[in-house]
Amino acid sequence: MRIGFLTEITVERLEWARQNGFGSIEWMRFENSAAGPKEANWQPFAEQIAGEAKARNIRISAIGALYKNPLDPKQSDFARATFRRAIEVAAHIGVKTVAGFPGAVIEFETHPKGENPVYKSFEQFLPQLLEFWEPLARFAAERGVRIAFEHCPMSRYHLPIMGFNMLAQPAMWERLFNETKYDNIGIEWDASHLICQFIDPVTNIHKFGSRIFHVHAKDALINRHLLEEYGICHQGVAEHRWPGLGQSNWAEIIHALIRTGYDSDLNLEGWHDPVYRDHGGLTPIDVSLGLNDRVAGLKLETTGLLIGKRTLEQFVPKE
């Protein structure tokens, strides 16, 4: 198990990772890279970048193929092509896992009495999820590659309400795993999305550990004062934080991952912390959280990344 971070894959970022003691990365924004689905001659770039990573002892633990909505008919063809290419690249350069969003079907139904329409439960659309993903799972399995689904709700307040991710809630993971015949379908696990739903991360690992194929190391913090005053659907009640700054017990999380046989890395995901990120001009959310003009323009993302690394490396066995 190594500690890394999410990044676009360039020689510069690989060198920065090496200089700062990181051992892995997740290759993000794959769809726009020189190995993406629009590139016919992708092998030279994939081989070059894999060689650059190996020369620095950096492991590419996953390819983040696409974080949009593959089940949206307007996106499905591109999403299918992107995941197929990512699977081909992963198999070619020895990466075990391809990750991304599973997507969602979002439809509304009208109450029989003509009352306001409500959106249909995601459970109704499990057949569509399987119809899209099982052919890709078979394609991946034939090449020794796994598919890991990100479970970020992708909706306001970090809640699984009207987002575009059918697998935001563990109950739907369970439904999917019970229905699919492919054991190379799993989860790109993230403690923050569980904390925001008041789910205990360690209990979740004990239940789903065999299906956790990749980990985004990100934490969250529930502001109890705001929660008790305004409820969960309020800006700032659930904030994403770097490991070490949230409320997860990373010693227990890593212990549980090792105990369940987790075989990949911990890749830190930034960009979300309310303080330790790169600040442009203040947003209305920043102001509501009490940040002031002195924060505008500060570049703190790297500091947060290193805080997360120092937090995790206490508990990760050395190779």
The domain that holds 59 is classified in CATH as 3.20.20.150
Q: Are 70 and 76 in contact (CB under 8 A)?
A: yes
| Whole-number pLDDT of residue 290 | 64
pTM: 0.93
| Whole-number pLDDT of residue 289 | 62
Mean pLDDT per 10-residue interval, the chain, length 319 residues: 97 97 98 96 97 98 96 97 98 98 87 71 92 98 98 87 90 97 98 96 98 98 94 91 97 98 96 86 65 74 96 93
Domain extent for 223: 3-313
In a domain, 207, yes or no: yes
Residues 6+ apart with CB under 8 A from 279: 286, 291, 295, 296, 297, 298, 299, 300
| Whole-number pLDDT of residue 52 | 98
In a domain, 319, yes or no: no
- In angstroms, the CA 266 to CA 309 distance is 9
| Whole-number pLDDT of residue 47 | 98
In a domain, 208, yes or no: yes
- In angstroms, the CA 92 to CA 52 distance is 15
In a domain, 284, yes or no: yes
- In angstroms, the CA 21 to CA 305 distance is 12
The total number of structural domains that make up the chain: 1
Q: Are 49 and 251 in contact (CB under 8 A)?
A: no
- In angstroms, the CA 77 to CA 74 distance is 8
Q: Between vectors from CA 172 to CA 100 and to CA 250, what angle results, nearest 5°? A: 65
Question: Encoding tokens for residue 89?
Answer: 């690249």
In a domain, 318, yes or no: no
Please tell me whether residue 82 adopts helix, strand or coil conformation. Answer: helix
